[in-house]
Structure 1
Amino acid sequence: MAKLVEATIEAIEEVGYHRASVGEISTRAGVSKGGLFRHFESRLELVVAAAEEVGRRHMTNFRTLRATTGHLSPLDLVREARSATRHETNVVWFELLVAARTEPELRERLSPVARALLDDVENAARETVEPGVSDELTQLVATSLIHMFDGESIFRYTYPRPELEEARLHAAARLLESLTQR
């Protein structure tokens, strides 16, 4: 199963959601189409498993970084958030979210996956800020940073503005710093 999930992630990342066919995924995994369906009822089941794995990887990377470096500075924290959105596997999220806009079944299946990932992000943010900061403000800042960096990640290829990206990073760190040092 892990080979199929990994092959799905790679296929969506490299050829896009719509071209990541069962044949493409099976070939990459070195598994027959029948073998794929012994593990997953449908392509959609496999795609959802791949989306869950991408979310797991993002949060594992963040938690590992946080554990190995102790308490991250606000600047390091926002750098890590931006780095995660620029990672190649995040392309899988972008592909799936765009496809889900017009595919109701995919949207319905991805909704709990997206909710779980954002809940994880918000919980990690709550672990970072001072106890007196409200959950509502923490949620707002954490999700705003993620959405801002998602947009930046998409636009940086067609309209790169490195000076604004760096300034945005420092402004976000100052905002986060104001929440973590009361």
Structure 2
Amino acid sequence: MTAPRRTQAERKGATIAKLVDATIEAIEEVGYHRASIGEICTRAGVSKGGLFRHFDSRLDVVVAAAQEVGRRHMANFRDLTTTEDRLPPIDLVRYARAAIRHETNVVWFELLVAARTEPELRERLHPVARALIDDVEQAAIDALDPDVPPDLTRLVATSLIHMFDGESIFRNTYPRPDLEEERLENAARLVEMLSRQAVT
């Protein structure tokens, strides 16, 4: 029995997904500047004409890749925090660090560094980065005790992200596993302390 023929919309969606996945993979493996249209198309098995039927430029597919990386991270975090019981702070903090260290997150690091000197990329990434940080902050508010002031939760969440970002970048060049574990435990204590203060 033959499989039902896919609709045009389904074929379009599948091609776009292949191109976005290939862009993520290319940036992750060879870096932003070497993730050319040719590199992306080869990895996706799609012609350059096929790419330009769905995206106006390389920048458009790169921004779509950035959005997809953020979507994947937030979907995983939402799955983690939608359990009936609140997770212990150490589990939340450990997950946040693991997500930041995940190889897919390298895409964000590559793009953020490139955006420093490329105004158009910076302008296009601004709303994507803002939406991701807003989602992270809201997820932290949802995960912690509701009595913790939201502004304080936002401050702690973004501070932890920036700390783990820096740790993730440095750990390949100057690994300090003992200090990293101590940092993780103290970050969890901070989150736990916030929750305890909210209850008292």
TM-score, normalising length from structure 2?
0.89
Matches of 2:86 and 2:147, distance apart in 1: 18
Deviation (angstroms), 1:131: 2.4
Structure 1, unmatched stretches of 5+, are: none
Moved more, 90-99 or 122-131: 122-131
TM-score, normalising length from structure 1?
0.97
Moved more, 63-72 or 145-154: 63-72
Tell me if the contact between 2:81 and 2:143 (Cα under 8 Å) persists in the aligned partners.
no
1:16-27 alignment, distance < 5 Å:
16-27=31-42
Matches of 1:31 and 1:128, distance apart in 2: 41
Q: 2:171 maps to which residue?
A: 156
Matches of 1:141 and 1:107, distance apart in 2: 25
Q: How many residues are paired up?
A: 182
Q: 1:177 maps to which residue?
A: 192
One-letter code aligned to 1:25: I
Q: 2:63 maps to which residue?
A: 48
CA spacing shift, 1:62–1:100, aligned 2, 3 Å: same
Deviation (angstroms), 1:135: 1.8
Q: 2:114 maps to which residue?
A: 99
Q: 2:44 maps to which residue?
A: 29
Deviations 1:137-163 (A, max 9, x none): 111100000010010000001111001
Matches of 1:173 and 1:51, distance apart in 2: 28
Deviations 1:54-81 (A, max 9, x none): 0000011111122358421100000000
Q: 1:147 maps to which residue?
A: 162
One-letter code aligned to 1:92: V
Tell me if the contact between 1:17 and 1:99 (Cα under 8 Å) persists in the aligned partners.
yes
Tell me if the contact between 1:4 and 1:29 (Cα under 8 Å) persists in the aligned partners.
yes
The reply to whether residue 88 of structure 1 matches residue 99 of structure 2 is no
Q: 2:145 maps to which residue?
A: 130
Matches of 2:177 and 2:194, distance apart in 1: 26
Structure 2, unmatched stretches of 5+, are: 1-15
Matches of 2:164 and 2:154, distance apart in 1: 15
Deviation (angstroms), 1:46: 0.3
**Aligned partner of 2:88 among 65, 73, 82:** 73
Moved more, 152-161 or 126-135: 126-135
Tell me if the contact between 1:8 and 1:25 (Cα under 8 Å) persists in the aligned partners.
yes
The reply to whether residue 121 of structure 1 matches residue 136 of structure 2 is yes
Identity %: 76
CA spacing shift, 1:15–1:111, aligned 2, 3 Å: same
